[in-house]
Structure 1
Amino acid sequence: EFSRFHVEITPMLDRLLNNRKEWNALKEVHEAKLAAIEEAKKAQEEAGQQAAAARQVKDLQPQLDVRSLVLILVLILVLVLVLVLVLVLVLILVLILILILILVLILILILVPKGISVEKTLPQFYLWSVMIHLLSPQPMMDRNKSDDLPKLQCGFIDFVCAFVYKVRRPISFSGVW
């Protein structure tokens, strides 16, 4: 009975063993196919990610160029506007100073009449020099000199006042000059 059992079982075991070998071979082939498919998927995903990144960079590049150009143009425009504003303010200040100077000259021409001698005009000139000295940051006269007439230092308004004073009166040589 054992031999009969052996005869019946042996082919089954052989088939099972062969099936096991075939199964292992099929399993290895299947695992190799799965690994190849997985690698292909990873490669495809990486290629897709690289392509997507390249598309994003390509899509963003023109936008960055346009944005940077617009930003540069806006900055240039702001700088030009600030420069124009500063120039306009400086021009307005210069015009205001010129108007003040013209008003001072007109007042001096009105208040310093012609034909008055130096002795009578000098106190009036001192009054105006004190008023202009308050407006001028530089000292009006050099009082350290012992001359009869004060010497002018370097103020422009002082020079204009002295010039108008000299021109408006006739020069009299009464011992003062």
Structure 2
Amino acid sequence: MLYRIDDNRYFEDASEAGHFCENGSPIYYVDKAQGIRSYVVKMDGVSMGSNFIIDAANDQYLIGPATRGNTDCSSGGGYCRGDRLPYSTDAGRTWKRADALSPTAPVTVTGSLAYAIRPTGTVLSLDLTKPVPEMKDWQWRPDASFPPPLRKAPIDNIFHCTANGKE
């Protein structure tokens, strides 16, 4: 497992045995309680080990690890521009892409807001209810702390990978 939200919800590397944690490996989201297993993004070594937190109280809004824009680049796929943040507004059944600040920026989601912090310490938020969140939609939050307060802590607080694909 790459990241565990709770006992039933997690991200996994769906690579062939012996090829875990490699660039281009498919990352899937799993929710055992709801019977969901959905493709999120291709693994990007830049974002592995990133500070990545999903409020475990969230059951509708989720984020995946941000990646460089060209890892999911496909003709007509719409994923060929800049850094991308996978997100879901339907409990992980389907995944969309928003503009990300950086594939290495720490990111947290609580409620319908994703929060990221720049190296300067500036905290920004992105409303995931927007139809197609773009870079211009990241809003400066002078009053916000990072990470923002969580309603329920997840099991993991970092997106990580083990070479054998197991914990």
TM-score, length-scaled by structure 1: 0.20
Larger Rg: 1
Q: Which has the higher contact order (CA 8 A, sep 6+)?
A: 2
**Quick check: which one's strand share is greater?**
2
**Quick check: which one's helix share is greater?**
1
